[in-house]
């Protein structure tokens, strides 16, 4: 199937579904009466909103892993940094309503005897500044990290291991009280966002809608990148990095661009996640979280973008169900998922679906498996 | 900058040492514009390492490597060198398996190589025409939309040569183009390379003596990292030291 | 092989030396009971503060074992007097049982109207001094050592006669030194001693060289002669210099200890990752399984054969090796062998396995920490100068080195090692020569996992045995292997010890967390510079 423009049929369906959900689910929550079969509960809206953030995060991971062959085990760090930037804004919005009633300092700073706001908290009382930092902080970290790593041609598992070390180091740092980010309690007890109460149904609906729009926009951005000639070069880098170099492409720059964009998307996902779950703490930096993100992508189908988003939804819905119904079994299920997907479903749900439909149309004709990237 | 030499490629006293092992030992070689040269030599003679030095993959331990008299190849990376106009074909065909034949050529066609420029890239008529012309030349017109992974070994070799041509290099480095080809394909390949050499310099590394004979060009024999002999194939075949190296002592 | 043998014999000699040093104080001198307590008890019965004090002086010189009991009871308020009969009784620490103070014989019926002997601060101090003096003559050398230390701190001149008596009898050199230092401490601070004696005493105190000595010299009485003050100032500077060196030495020791732990955790990984190119994220869980094996073994021993407890670790070692080795082989045969040449996929699959293993252990043993005991030879510590060296850390260092060299021998000298190296270097060629590569892969992976298991036995001695045990080691182990250079066991050794020592040397300046972060950042930057680690293979073989 050759496509015109950046959207193929699958992408179009995806965008329509996401945007429709973005409008309909908040409406079903606010307008449909509680007994109605169309009603979506207050509990479900932020939960689904959280899934949308994860889906955006998965799309970001897929951009670098699926198209560029860079397996990041540290995307949780970019997600968390975006979340912290938003959390800092929300903390400043609390103002004098905190337990200690200090108009400037958040509660944890009063508790830790801070006399004044640390310099890196300045400006976060403005939403626009915080929103900018949601992009700039993860973007800058990714750029600096990638600049060194890609130029020195650190690839494959070595790169994966140092991305893991990066998020691990950040986790240790954010657990420290004197970092000024609330230590292991993180940032919480948010009151309102842009003047609207964070617990109000309409705010929740708006945040859900914003997440849906962000997911659609993030998908379109990635899709635009991967369907351009830039994207073709990216895939070439994934499959034969040194050959691409001998064609005259500066591989490091290509990777760096995708890597930085991906980190910024992860930051946006984190920023939308925080007001919906109401807390951000250093646990988000845990290396295990970052590895879990990779499996979302693998489950849905690596290198398809839509599959990544789908995988995030499926795995997290499964997680919610398991931790409610069979908490003991969740890690078994997740662990088995890692094994089964890598062994038997290298192209994920999307690939499985593709195999099924093409087999129905024409019985013969094997589909070549994607070449594993180093 | 004043050119140091009129030669297109100028290697002088190049040595490459890996952990005490001398892969190249004071190798000197010059290639002129639009010259075709065949490089032969037993395994471990340093043929591939020489290509690595020219294309920036390996940094020489000592020596000088100049392109077009002014560019110091020992300070540039692979991408810079490729953009200067040095193309390389590997021993085993390396094409982009997941891309179509057309996209493989598109990635190779001489154009802006910067990342940002390629985001805004739109297909242009002259690029399409150039790709059509190349497909014709490497006889893959009917395979245009097939994935490169589905091609036969010989077709992949030709696709890679096509990609090389698409770069419009001034110097082509071709490593064992005839490996794994049928006799007919081998003859066709020799023909194609001779044709290319009318306008560009071509350096061919080859084991197949019949193929080298078909090319009918000046031959350089490498042995233990340096040049053993140079001349026509008949001349070097008669050289005592070459015989000694090839037949064992 | 010769190097290995020499190291082994060196390790054995060291072990023997340690055992002798530890066992020596056991040559306990028996002390006969004697000495009349009656005069002292009579003074106590008078129940005036000054009489009690005088009684304590008498008691402190007594050789009767009851003297210690009486002094201890007095300080606790458990010494009772019958005002009517002037008899003195000791009440037991727990409960109401009474005993006669003079004989220690139990008294079945408590007389009415017993009064506790009253205490004030002077009496309390005198009681402490008497207790200290009595311990100076205790049969147990460890007690005497402790008492000498107490006198050094209290500098109670009243202890001087007892000190002299103790010195005259003392045969254990270590205790003798301590007694002399205690005496010196008293002399330095006593204005009645001659200046020459006091100067000599300063030298003895300086020779002791620890914080206590420093405190003593810094707090000389104001009326001390100038020469003494000058000698003390000199001594303080000298002690400070040596303490600084000792503190670096102590940190290096901690670093070596941490390094040996890292080595143990990383060494199995060096095989699976370095030799086979397999990223085993479940490696930490192999360590954890090894630790749980130790727990199970000890549990069985506690219930069925408590007398074997001293051997529990020795029994657990082979069992842990076999168990985790078998688990490793099963993982290799069922999952990893389908993923060779796809390191990133291996990483994900083994991560999944690690989650399942963690949950399995949690389901079977529960999420809480399990108590793994230390056999007596693993507990305790000894001093080398100002260095405090605990036995468990020492044994783990010795053990880590033993495992390392044993592995080196296996890889270099056995046919398994030869096959492993052949398969690593050229799989197809090895297969063509009739080596069953699949079997070698499984055995190599089993070996790596088994070593992780015995690392777990050692780590159960210093870390909490919980399902999360392995998680704590996996990142550090990867750092060690990557830093040291993949495919090079010596690199792993140097990498582990370097990172361990660097970590501990950074801690005093940066704190534990920042030090660790600094190291992680350092390794991230280091890999940029040398993507293949400290001891990298170079040349064409790398490109293949």
Kindly report the CATH number assigned to the domain that includes residue B40: 3.40.50.300
Weakest mean pLDDT among C325-339, C422-436, C487-501: C422-436
Chain A nearest-CA distance from C516, in A, is 8
pLDDT confidence of residue C438? 86
CB contact under 8 A, A245 and B78: yes
Which other chains touch chain B, taking contact as 3+ CB pairs less than 8 Å apart? A, C
CB contact under 8 A, A228 and B121: yes
Burial B141-180 (b: 16+ CB within 10 A, else e): eebeeebbeebeebbbbbbbbbbbbbbebbbbbbbbbbbb
Beta bridge partners of C106: C99
What are the C-alpha distances in Å from C119 to residues C40, C154, C521? 16, 20, 61
Q: Do C353 and A164 touch (CB under 8 A)?
A: no
Answer for the pair A372, C345: CB distance below 8 angstroms, yes or no: yes
Domain boundaries, chain A: 9-287
Q: How far is B195 from chain C (nearest CA, A)?
A: 34
Check residue C535 and give its pLDDT: 76
Tell me which H or E stretch contains B13. Answer: strand B9-18
**8 Å CB contact of C538 and B19:** yes
Domain holding B32, by residue range, is 9-95+168-247
Judge whether B90 and B57 are in contact, CB under 8 Å.
no
User: Which residue, among A255, A301, A279, A253, has the nearest Cα to A50 in the 3D structure?
Assistant: A279
What is the C-alpha separation between B237 and B239, in angstroms, rounded? Answer: 6
Under DSSP, is residue C520 helix (H, G, I), strand (E, B) or coil?
Answer: helix
Q: Is residue C18 predicted with pLDDT exceeding 80?
A: no
Cα Rg of chain C (Å, integer):
31
- Residue range B85-97: mean pLDDT, rounded: 88
Is the pLDDT assigned to residue C208 strictly greater than 70?
A: yes
CA distance C513 to chain A (A): 7
Residues of chain C contacting residue A162, judged by C-beta atoms under 8 Å apart: 482, 523-524, 527
For residue C242, the distance in angstroms to the closest alpha carbon of chain B comes to 45
CB-CB under 8 Å, A372 with C341 = yes
| Mean pLDDT, all residues of chain C | 83
Q: Is residue B188 part of a domain?
A: yes
Q: Which two tokens stand for residue A200?
A: 């109000």
Q: B19 and C539 in contact by Cβ < 8 A? A: yes
Give the count of Cβ contacts less than 8 A between chain A and C: 122
The mean pLDDT value for C103-129 works out to 81
A and B: number of Cβ contacts within 8 A: 83
pLDDT score at C291:
95
Domain membership of residue B4 (yes or no) is: no
- Candidate from A229, A247, A370 with C-beta closest to B98: A370
DSSP label of B19:
T
Helices (H), C100-194: 121-136, 141-154, 160-169, 173-189
Beta bridge partners of C390: C381
Nearest-Cα distance to chain C for B213, in Å, is 31
CB contact at 8 A, B203 and B172: yes
Residues in chain B with CB shorter than 8 Å from the CB of C538 are 18-19
| Element holding C382 (H helix, E strand) | strand C381-384
Nearest CB among A228, A248, A257 relative to B79 is that of: A248
Asked if residue C445 has pLDDT above 50, the reply is yes
* Chains in contact with A, counting 3 or more C-beta pairs less than 8 Å apart as contact: B, C
Q: Are C249 and C387 in contact, with CB atoms under 8 Å apart?
A: yes
* pLDDT tens readout for residues A118-175: 999 999 999 999 999 999 999 999 999 999 999 988 888 889 989 999 999 999 999 9
What does pLDDT average to over chain B? 89
How many helices (H) and strands (E) chain A has is answered by 14, 4
Is the Cβ pair A236, B96 closer than 8 Å?
yes
Q: Of A172, A335, A345, which to mutate for an interface test with C (greatest number of C Cβ within 10 Å)?
A: A335
B26 DSSP 8-state letter: E
Q: What percent of chain C has pLDDT over 70?
A: 92
User: Is pLDDT above 80 for B242?
Assistant: yes
Q: What percent of chain A has pLDDT over 70?
A: 95
Separation of alpha carbons C413 and C1, rounded Å = 8
Cα distance between residue B111 and residue B109, in whole Å: 6
Give B-chain residues touching A371 at CB under 8 angstroms. Answer: 97-98, 149
Measured between alpha carbons, how far is A187 from A196 in angstroms, rounded to an integer?
19
In the prediction, which pLDDT does C152 show? 83
Choose the closest CB to A154 out of C362, C471, C527: C527
Tell me the pairing of strands C115-116 and C79-82.
antiparallel
Residue A69 C-alpha, separation from nearest chain C C-alpha, in angstroms: 10
How far apart are alpha carbons A54 and A58 in whole angstroms? 6
Q: Looking at the predicted structure, is the pLDDT value of residue B111 above 80?
A: yes
Q: What is the pLDDT of residue C34?
A: 40
Averaged pLDDT, A211-226: 97
pLDDT score recorded for residue C537: 54
If one compares A168 and C472, the residue with the highest pLDDT of the two is A168
Please state, in angstroms and rounded to a whole number, the distance separating the CA atoms of residues A52 and A312: 8
Q: Cβ contacts (< 8 Å) between B120 and chain A: which residues?
A: 228
Rounded to an integer, the average pLDDT of B137-164 is: 90
**What is the C-alpha to C-alpha distance for residues C159 and C129, in angstroms, rounded to an integer?**
7
Domain range C246-543, CATH architecture: Orthogonal Bundle (1.10)
Q: How far is the alpha carbon of C481 from chain A, nearest alpha carbon, in Å?
A: 11
Find chain A residues with C-beta within 8 A of B78's C-beta: 242, 245-246
C540–chain B Cβ distance below 8 A for any pair: yes
Q: Using the beta-carbon criterion (under 8 Å), do B113 and A254 form an inter-chain contact? A: no
- Name residue, tokens 């000190």: C163
Sort out which chain B residues have CB atoms less than 8 A from A228's CB and list them: 118-121
Joined tokens for residue B70: 């002014």
C487 — alpha (psi -120 to 50), left (phi > 0) or beta? Answer: left
Annotated domain spans of chain C: 34-136, 246-543
Between chains, do A165 and C523 touch, taking CB under 8 Å as contact? yes
Q: Is A178 at the interface with chain C, CB within 8 A?
A: no
B138 is a domain residue: no
Q: Is residue B68 part of a domain?
A: yes
Query: Which chain B residue shows the shortest CA-CA distance from C541?
Result: B18
In chain B, the residue whose alpha carbon lies closest to the alpha carbon of A222 is B119
Return the residue of B nearest to C536 by Cα: B19
CB spacing of A371 vs B98 below 8 angstroms = yes
pLDDT at C29: 29
Give, to the nearest 10 degrees, the angle between helix A306-325 and helix A348-361.
110
Contact (Cβ atoms closer than 8 angstroms) between residue C398 and residue C14: yes
In a domain, B119, yes or no: no
| Mean pLDDT along residues C113-126 | 83
Confidence of residue B247 (pLDDT cuts 50, 70, 90): low
pLDDT(C540) > 50: no
> Tokens representing C99?
């005993």
Whole-number Å distance between alpha carbons of A360 and A131: 48
Position B83 scores a pLDDT of 94
Chain A residues whose CB is inside 8 A of the B114 CB are 250, 253
C86 Ramachandran zone, left/alpha/beta (phi>0; psi -120 to 50): left
ipTM of the complex: 0.90
Distance from CA of A356 to the nearest CA of B (A): 21
Name the domain count of chain B.
1
Instruction: Tell me the chain C residues in contact with residue A298 when contact means C-beta distances shorter than 8 Å.
Output: 348
Rounded to a whole number of angstroms, the distance from the CA of A238 to the nearest CA of chain C is 13
Looking at residue C541, what is its pLDDT? 40
Question: Is the pLDDT score of A177 beyond 90?
Answer: no
């Amino acid at each position: 199937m050759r496509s015109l423009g950046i959207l193929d049929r699958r992408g179009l369906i995806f965008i329509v579904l996401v945007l429709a959900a973005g409008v309909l689910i908040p409406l079903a929550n606010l307008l449909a009466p509680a007994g109605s079969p169309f009603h979506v509960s207050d509990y479900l809206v932020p939960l689904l909103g959280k899934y949308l953030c994860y889906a955006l995060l998965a799309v970001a991971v897929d951009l670098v892993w699926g198209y560029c062959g860079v397996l990041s085990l540290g995307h949780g760090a970019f997600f968390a940094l975006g979340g912290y930037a938003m959390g800092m804004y929300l903390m400043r919005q609390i103002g004098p309503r905190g337990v200690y009633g200090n108009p400037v300092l958040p509660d944890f700073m009063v508790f830790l005897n801070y006399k004044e706001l640390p310099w890196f908290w300045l400006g976060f009382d403005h939403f626009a500044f915080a929103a900018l930092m949601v992009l700039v902080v993860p973007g800058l970290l990714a750029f600096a990290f990638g600049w060194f790593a890609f130029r020195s041609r650190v690839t494959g598992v070595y790169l994966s291991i140092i991305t893991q070390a990066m998020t691990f180091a950040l986790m240790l740092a954010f657990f420290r009280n004197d970092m000024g980010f609330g230590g292991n309690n993180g940032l919480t007890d948010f009151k309102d966002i842009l003047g609207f109460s964070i617990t109000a149904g309409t705010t929740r609906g708006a945040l859900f809608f914003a997440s849906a729009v962000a997911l659609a926009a993030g998908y379109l951005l990635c899709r635009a990148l991967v369907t351009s000639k830039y994207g073709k070069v990216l895939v070439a880098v994934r499959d034969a990095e040194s050959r691409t170099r001998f064609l005259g492409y500066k591989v490091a720059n290509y990777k760096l661009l995708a890597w930085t964009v991906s980190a910024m998307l992860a930051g946006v996902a984190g920023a939308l996640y925080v007001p919906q779950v109401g807390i951000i703490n250093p646990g988000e930096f845990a290396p295990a979280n970052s590895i879990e993100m990779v499996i979302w992508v693998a489950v849905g189908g690596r290198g398809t973008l839509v599959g990544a988003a789908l995988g995030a939804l499926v795995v997290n819905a499964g997680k919610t169900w398991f931790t409610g119904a069979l908490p003991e079994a969740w890690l078994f299920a997740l662990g088995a998922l890692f094994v089964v997907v890598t062994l038997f479903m290298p192209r994920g749900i999307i690939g499985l679906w593709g195999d099924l439909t093409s087999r129905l149309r024409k019985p013969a004709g094997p589909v070549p498996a994607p070449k594993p990237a180093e | 900058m004043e050119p140091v030499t009129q030669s297109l490629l100028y290697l002088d006293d190049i040595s490459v040492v890996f952990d005490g092992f001398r892969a190249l030992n004071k190798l000197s070689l010059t290639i002129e514009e639009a010259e075709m040269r065949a490089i032969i030599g037993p395994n471990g003679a340093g043929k591939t390492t020489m290509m690595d030095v020219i294309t920036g993959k390996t940094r020489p331990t000592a020596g000088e490597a100049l392109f077009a008299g002014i560019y110091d190849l020992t300070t540039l990376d692979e991408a810079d060198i490729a953009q200067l106009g040095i193309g390389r074909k590997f021993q085993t065909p390396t094409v982009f398996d997941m891309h179509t034949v057309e996209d493989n050529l598109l990635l190779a066609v001489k154009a802006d190589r910067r990342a940002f420029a390629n985001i805004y890239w739109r297909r242009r008529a002259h690029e399409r025409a150039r790709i059509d012309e190349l497909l014709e030349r490497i006889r893959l017109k009917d395979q245009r939309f097939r994935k490169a992974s589905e091609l036969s070994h010989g077709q992949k070799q030709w696709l890679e040569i096509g990609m090389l041509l698409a770069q419009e290099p001034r110097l082509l480095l071709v490593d064992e183009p005839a490996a794994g080809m049928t006799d007919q394909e081998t003859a066709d390949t020799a023909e194609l390379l001779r044709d290319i050499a009318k306008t560009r310099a071509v350096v061919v590394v080859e084991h197949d003596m019949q193929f080298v004979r078909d090319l009918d060009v000046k031959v350089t024999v490498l042995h233990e990292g340096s040049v053993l002999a140079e001349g026509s194939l008949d001349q070097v075949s008669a050289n005592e030291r070459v015989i000694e190296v090839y037949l064992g002592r | 092989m010769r190097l290995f043998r020499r190291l082994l014999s060196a390790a054995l000699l060291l072990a023997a030396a340690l055992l002798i040093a530890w066992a020596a104080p056991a040559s306990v001198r028996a002390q006969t009971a004697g000495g009349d307590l009656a005069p002292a008890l009579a003074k106590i019965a008078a129940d005036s503060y000054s009489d009690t004090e005088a009684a304590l002086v008498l008691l402190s010189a007594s050789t009767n074992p009851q003297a210690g009991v009486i002094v201890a009871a007095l300080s606790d308020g458990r010494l009772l007097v019958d005002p009517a009969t002037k008899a003195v009784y000791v009440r037991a620490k727990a409960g109401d049982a009474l005993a006669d103070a003079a004989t220690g014989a139990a008294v079945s019926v408590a007389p009415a109207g017993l009064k506790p002997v009253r205490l004030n601060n002077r009496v309390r101090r005198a009681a402490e001094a008497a207790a200290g003096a009595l311990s100076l003559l205790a049969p147990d050398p460890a007690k005497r050592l402790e008492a000498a230390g107490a006198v050094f701190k209290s500098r109670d001149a009243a202890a001087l006669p007892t000190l002299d008596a103790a010195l005259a009898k003392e045969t254990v050199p270590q205790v003798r030194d301590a007694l002399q230092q205690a005496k010196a401490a008293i002399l330095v601070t006593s204005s009645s001693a001659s200046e020459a004696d006091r100067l000599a005493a300063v030298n003895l105190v300086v020779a002791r060289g620890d914080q206590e000595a420093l405190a003593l010299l810094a707090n000389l009485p104001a009326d001390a002669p100038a020469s003494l003050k000058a000698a003390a100032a000199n001594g303080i500077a000298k002690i400070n210099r040596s303490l600084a060196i000792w503190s670096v030495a102590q940190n290096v020791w901690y670093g070596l200890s941490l390094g040996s732990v890292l080595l143990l955790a990383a060494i199995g990984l060096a095989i699976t990752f370095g030799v086979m190119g397999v990223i085993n994220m479940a490696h930490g869980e192999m360590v954890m399984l090894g630790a749980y094996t130790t727990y199970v073994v000890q549990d069985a021993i506690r219930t069925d054969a408590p007398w074997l407890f001293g051997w529990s670790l020795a029994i657990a070692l082979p069992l842990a090796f076999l168990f985790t080795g078998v688990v490793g082989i099963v993982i290799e045969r069922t999952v990893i062998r389908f993923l060779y040449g796809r390191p990133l996929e291996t990483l994900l699959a083994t991560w999944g396995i690690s989650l399942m293993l963690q949950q399995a252990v949690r389901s079977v043993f529960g999420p809480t920490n399990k108590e793994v005991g230390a056999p007596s030879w693993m507990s305790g510590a000894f001093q080398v100068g100002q260095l405090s060296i605990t036995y468990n850390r020492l044994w783990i260092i010795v053990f880590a080195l033993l495992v390392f060299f044993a592995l080196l021998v296996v890889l270099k000298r056995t046919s398994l090692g030869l096959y492993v190296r052949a398969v690593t270097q050229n799989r197809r060629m090895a297969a063509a020569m009739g080596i069953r590569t699949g079997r070698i892969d499984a055995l190599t992976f089993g070996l790596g996992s088994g070593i992780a298991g015995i690392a777990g036995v050692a780590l159960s001695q210093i870390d909490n045995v919980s399902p999360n045990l392995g998680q704590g080691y996996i990142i550090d182990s990867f750092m060690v292997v990557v830093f040291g250079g993949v495919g090079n066991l010596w690199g792993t050794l140097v990498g582990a010890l370097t990172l361990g020592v660097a970590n501990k040397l950074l801690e005093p300046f940066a704190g534990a967390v920042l030090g660790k972060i600094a190291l992680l950042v350092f390794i991230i930057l280091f890999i940029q510079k040398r993507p293949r680690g400290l001891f990298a293979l170079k040349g064409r073989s790398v490109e293949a």
